[in-house]
Amino acid sequence: MAVRFYIDADLLGVAKLLVQVRSDVTYPGDSGDGTRPACPISPQTKDSVWIPRVSNEGWVVITRDRHLMHRPDELAALRDNRARVVRLDARHVLTKWLELEILVTQWRRIELVVDTPGPWIYRVGRTTLVKEL
């Protein structure tokens, strides 16, 4: 199965769990395995560099970046590159367990929107999936 989801560096703990059960997930620094290639992006890569690359690959970004909608340069990069982003609802303190719970609980709903052309951003919580952009 080809990679479809790129987990941002702010969710590395969850990313390392997800790649054990999903071969269509990668993250910065992922060395790959027999079913998916190594990720070409390192954890230190600046957003301005990885956003175009991830978008060009056609990958959906999963992040917990709570300031995403308030950074004009980053938002412009997402729009300009037609990025597709799922952002964990970080209005509350997110533990790794809660991050994993949100993604596992909402994965089927996320799958329903991933093929929609970008740019878009969905905020996802335990019981919600709301389009922000």
What does the pLDDT look like over 14-70, one tens digit per residue? 999 999 999 999 999 999 988 899 999 999 999 889 999 999 999 999 999 888 878
Strand partners, 20: none
Total number of domains in the chain:
1
Does 118 have pLDDT greater than 90? yes
Domain that holds residue 112: 5-131
* Cβ 32 vs Cβ 53: under 8 Å: no
What's the pTM?
Answer: 0.94
23-42 residues labelled b (16+ CB within 10 A) or e (exposed): eebbbbbbeeeeebeebebe
Closest to 100 in 3D by CA, of 6, 13, 21, 5: 13
Strand partners, 88: 124
Does 98 have pLDDT greater than 90? yes
